[in-house]
Chain A
Amino acid sequence: MVTIIDYSIAIVGAFLAMCMFSTLYGKSSPLYALAEESYIGFGTGLTIVINAEYIWRTGIVNIMKGDYILILALILGAMILFRIHPEYNYVARIPIAIALGAQFGLSLRTIIFSGFTQQIIATIVPLFEGDAVTLLYRWTVALSVIFMMTFFFYSIELKGPLAASAKLGEYFLYTAFGAIFAQTFMGRLGLFVGFMQSFTIPPWKKPILVASMIIVFALVVIMDRTGIIEKYTPSE
């Protein structure tokens, strides 16, 4: 059973979405500005609510349960807000330092393994064991990583075997970029197709989508022809 709320959500959503797409016309318009500022305004409000709730649930609720050491979090949080004060911004330095130190501790203790040692271990694999396909994969990966790396050596002169390695690395890199480009386009297309699907499933949304497309396109063309775009579009 489709309610009036469902219809209102679909109509407003489709209209605002098409307003956002109107930037593809080639010029910003008041409709695009409406959609953009709606997203920024409501989105920021949402972020405020969710973050405030996180601070409440993780900090204040636990403090009320007796974990008084978390009062330090609220004190440091209040100190960090002084960052915007023109005179007392030095108050924020200690909490920034503590947060940065903890953050570095968290990331450095693991990326050494996940981003460095494990990647090197996975590259140095047996190159003379396994079937033909496995060997092809292993040799390609091992040689590609080495050659591609030499391509990015900027601090020494590339000559002789190093120059040849760098040249091969360049060709391998472009081959990789072709595959990566295709995967990236698949991702971007998936984002767009997924969005369009949200307005074609269930089927009662289809006329709303088509009507919004036609109305917004017509409005943008009319605004362009009558000069409204230049008059009312925000200057950025």
Chain B
Amino acid sequence: MSESKLMKTLATYDRRWVYLTLFIVVTIPLLRPIGMPISVSPDTKQYYDVISSVKEGDHVLFTLNTEFSGYNEIQSGVIASMRIFIEHGCKICVAVGHPEATGIPELIFNQLKKELVENGYEYGRDYVILGYVMPNEASVAAMAQNFHGAITQDWLGRPIDDTFLAEINTWEDWDLIADFTTGLATSYLMNHFALRGTPMTVNCIGVMIASQKPYVDTGVYKAILQSMRGGAELEYLTGHPGPGLTAMDAFTFGHYMLILFIIAGNIGYYGYTKKQMGGE
């Protein structure tokens, strides 16, 4: 192919080639994993230190403010964090902020069955699933100010009076809010819990990182775990490889693919498009 034809191709290729290439570079490493090394960022180390500092009997509000699509991205962080809380013997209350997320707690506890059994976890005494209790800011505020006034049953309609939640009245009774989010009720939790002094950590999707970092900087959030990469780093730190680490091969190739396409487009631009514009 002559140079000018090559430049024209690089400048005017059909976008579906990008779609196809992305599909291939993501699918193949997932079908045939390679196992690439990973470094751990300071943010993940800070997150790990914060959630590892919980003590036995601490009350943790584990909030899933994510649709199912977002869960696919942050599930490595979700599973790794829940494992840490179980191994530390915390009392865990799972609440969700989106109707699609009502099926997620079941997936989490199915994957951690072994840990639940090893640590003698019993539903009601050690963990409770509340279901969809955060549809809007008013419901989160009600939970913070008068927990039993807002919530009386778990997700299957069973009363929570004889669970560990009988000890919870207001925001002061929680030892940690561990939020896993695509941006739904996170700001409400921040406003009505974290700003009042309840420690809060966030595991967010990549899109939210820039908007959430200012809150970490001001100390409102104690730590942040960033997207799938952060989840993979947490799996590495905890010594329990999982979906995050498995996905890093595809992650790597996806990033390289984008860089190569941008470079190719710029070569095409300078080698063909700009000359065409100059000629006109």
Contact = CB atoms under 8 A, between A and B. Distances in A.
Q: Do A and B come from one complex?
A: yes
Interface of A: 24-26, 43, 46-47, 49-51, 53-54, 57-58, 61-62, 65, 67, 102-103, 106-107, 110-111, 113-114, 118-119, 121-122, 176, 179-180, 183-198, 200-201, 206, 210
A27 to B, nearest CB: 11
Contact of A191 (B70, B138, B209): B70
B206 A183 contact: yes
B230 to A, nearest CB: 10
A196 B206 contact: no
Given A113-B195, A190-B73, A191-B72, A61 B138 contact: no
Interface size class of B (residues with CB under 8 A): 35 or more
A197 B247 contact: yes
B69 A195 contact: yes
B105 interface: no
Contacts of A122: 214, 217-218
A193 B251 contact: yes
Chief secondary structure at chain B's binding surface: helix
Given A51-B135, A183-B210, A191-B72, A118 B220 contact: yes
A50 B73 contact: no
A126 B33 CA distance: 48
Contacts of A188: 206-207
Nearest to B19: A24
Contact of B191 (A53, A114, A210): A114
B228 A190 contact: yes
Given A189-B251, A191-B69, A197-B72, A119 B218 contact: yes
Nearest to A49: B99
A26 B217 CA distance: 43
Nearest to A184: B207
Contact of B205 (A26, A102, A191, A196): A191
Contacts of B191: 106-107, 110-111, 114
Contacts of A113: 195
B9 interface: no
Contacts of B22: 192
Interface string B116-154: 000000000000000111010111010000000111110
Given A192-B26, A196-B26, A107 B137 contact: yes
Contacts of B153: 57, 61
B246 A197 contact: yes
Contacts of B19: 24
A206 B150 CA distance: 44
B104 to A, nearest CB: 12
B62 to A, nearest CB: 19
